[in-house]
Amino acid sequence: MVKKRTKRGRAVQKRTGRSRWKRWLLLGLVTLMLSAILYAIYLDHIVQARFEGQRWAVPAKVYGRTLDLYPGASVTSKHLTQTLDGLGYRQVKHPDQPGYYSSYRGRFLLRTRAFHFPDIDRPSDYLEVVMDGQGVISLKRAGNGDPIGHYRIEPRLIGSLTSTHGEDRILLKRDQLPALLVNALIAIEDRNFYQHIGIDPIAIGRALWANLVAKRVVQGGSTLTQQLVKNFFLSADRTLWRKFNEVLMALILDWRYDKDEILEAYANEIYLGQQGGKAIHGFALASHFYFNRPLQELDLSRLATLVTLVRGPSAYDPRRHPQQAEKRRDLVLQLMVDQGVISQQQATQASHTPLSVEQGDRRSSGSPAFMDLVKRQLRRDYREEDLNAGGLRIFSTLDPWFQNRAEQAISLQLKALEGTHGIAQGTLQGALTLADVETGEVMALVGDRNPRFAGFNRALDAVRPVGSLIKPAVYLSALSQPNRYHLLSTLDDRPIRIKGANGEIWAPRNYDNLSHDQVTLQQALVESLNLATVSLGLSVGLESVIDNLHRLGIQRPMEPYPSLLLGAVSLSPLEMTQMYQTLANGGYSATLKSIRDVTDGQGKPLSRYPLSIESRVDTRAVFLLKHALNEVTRSGTAKALQWLLPGEVEVAGKTGTTDKLRDSWFAGFDRHRVAVAWVGRDDNAPTGLTGSSGAMRVWARLMNGIGIAALQQEPPMGVDVLTIDPLSGLLGEGCPQTTNYPFIAGSGPTSEASCAHSESLVDEGILWLQRLFN
């Protein structure tokens, strides 16, 4: 009985143990299933939150200004051709699609691309533009011959702001992806894309078998969905846990979203190259980066090259490894044939096509100095995160044609100056700014002799003594007092000694170390006489000169020291451009700006930067001053412009030279544009260059490159132009040699010179004698 009970107890215990084990196993399985479900829910939340929110940090894109075409526009064939080439247009015999043009003897046939401007969504057009050496003769639609009054060529992308993660991309919708690209991608990377559930067990098995046979990894089994998950959601760690997450999230993604949405995301996310510190993501940006044209304009060969890069952007980089890239491209083409995507004839033809990769992205002009100005002005109005991730579209004032000429003027002229003046090569530096006289729009900006160098921006930050460039403010202060001064007023040009507060004596001298006793006010400015300028400045008062400097646009605080009158104040080229813009515009100041419009990524206008002009100084006095500055370029310190510029064009300007020839300046303007050039050394060592022999040569090279619009000096109301005898300074109508001078009404001479009307008296005597004898 005891033995039976013992056996029965053992059996009960065994059954109880098995029951407990089953319960624990069941509990474990339930817990595991619940954990898996909860983890799947967690991953589902991550997928939805990221995929349905702002998927990418798209940095703001900055565009240049448009090229405006209209009958009479001063646009040459060379200008139009360079603009189209910079936009990635292709010259052919018969343009049959957007992005192509033909040109023959001044007649252009042009199929423009559609573009979303801030004010209009413009479709593609087919244009005929007829030009001669002066500009546009006629503009019409090539299809029906209808005349066009005005047409804007789309602006060129000049750069983008750096995103938080150093990525850049151009977003495309699914229907914007070329069918050949999609078919090639699926044929090469995921042939069962439209049939599987996010993962492809058949592809995984096929890849495992191929790798086992080859005894190395020769094939992957990841679907496009898995690749997207890996790039978009996960890190690059190669662990089993990451692979598990990849599979689970791919299943979730495929369950939640349709195939086309997944394909669109993949096409925008895929990494396809590197440009310096900027990662190239997505096929749209890669198309511009490698081929300088939109994705929709690529042929079969180029599309296959882009698909090649999916497997390895570094290994198959067509610029660094063209042979490997071409071999892989041909493999892609053959696989497309095998999958029935293209014919063998199409593949053969495409495989015989060169890679045709552009050497650098010409779509972005690479103007770091100007981009620096844009960023500084944007940061006054926008948050950093909006600029780096909001996908804003910035329409700037930069003119790529003028920018190219400005860059050449700096780099080529500095090299020439070093050669002709025996200066060590590479030691000179320079800056150049160009702005529209009426609007203040900055059209070109160069901050280094190497325009592509994104370092110290001398155009904005080289705060250097400006020398005689400041003198017009002194003379403006005097001419604004017509009861005391006019252009023919006499000034003392004699040595002067001024004792400072610290007891030191300041004794300025003229550049030639000579004094000229008495000179006219205009002569003093034209010849840049220091002694006469100091005498005049002290007479009108230092506070008056400083006030006029501020009125002309200089915002820096200044101390009323006498040396200020000769430019002992440090300012940047951009600040001097603001001052001379006000002078060139007749006393009307337009704040310099680099931005016209800002829109969001969908083209909705966010901000406009309208024209803002303010009358700051007496227009009449400015007209007199411009007359004198014009004479500076004819007979004064800038008279070399008479042979540096073509013909006898009318411009105005002022040279500037600092102590020991450390800084060379020139500021000048024509009817439409004002430019300021600076030449010097970063170590502040003497250059041996005056304003005339240095910076003015840069300025002249720029103006010759962009074309000069001669000044038209129409006197404003309240200004009389009088005929003056230069010997006496009196009214000289009838004198043998006379010059016309402008005067503020009521301030000019009223007496006549002794020679006045002498010729008319002789003529009257001859007529009397003739009547007498007839």
User: Cα–Cα distances in Å, from 116 out to 101, 113, 128, 395, 623?
Assistant: 21, 10, 22, 11, 42
CA atoms within 13 A on the CB side of 564: 20
Judged by DSSP in three states, 126 sits in: strand
Interhelix angle for 300-311 vs 322-338, to 10°?
110
Return the active site residues: 189, 468
3-state secondary structure 516-574: CEEEEHHHHHHCCCHHHHHHHHHHHCHHHHHHHHHHCCCCCCCCCCHHHHHCCCEECHH
Q: Which amino acid is at 146?
A: D
DSSP 468: G
Torsion angles phi and psi, residue 574, rounded to 5: -65, -40
**Distance (Å, rounded) from C-alpha 495 to C-alpha 513?**
10
Q: Which amino acid is at 406?
A: A
Q: Which amino acid is at 631?
A: E
Note whether 502 and 536 are within 8 A (CB): no
- Counting Cβ atoms within 10 Å, is residue 691 exposed (0-12), middle (13-18) or buried (19+)? buried
Q: Which amino acid is at 714?
A: E
Note whether 506 and 562 are within 8 A (CB): yes
**Distance (Å, rounded) from C-alpha 611 to C-alpha 607?**
13
Two tokens, residue 342: 């293209």
The residue written with tokens 């009970």 in the block is 5
What Rg value do the Cα atoms of the chain yield, rounded? 37
Two tokens, residue 658: 């600092």
Closest CA to 246 of 227, 260, 263: 227
Note whether 675 and 699 are within 8 A (CB): yes
**Distance (Å, rounded) from C-alpha 289 to C-alpha 364?**
9
Residue 17: count of CB within 10 angstroms of its CB: 10
How do beta strands 90-91 and 100-104 pair?
parallel
User: Cα–Cα distances in Å, from 232 out to 41, 226, 632?
Assistant: 18, 10, 64
The answer for residues whose C-beta is within 8 angstroms of residue 153's C-beta and 6 or more apart is: 66, 67, 68, 69, 83, 84, 87, 112
Q: What does the buried/exposed string (b/e) look like for 133-171 if buried means 16 or more CB atoms within 10 Å of the residue's CB? A: eebbeebbebeeeeebeebbbbbbbbbbbbbeeebbbbb
- Counting Cβ atoms within 10 Å, is residue 699 exposed (0-12), middle (13-18) or buried (19+)? buried
Q: Which amino acid is at 481?
A: Q
DSSP 161: P
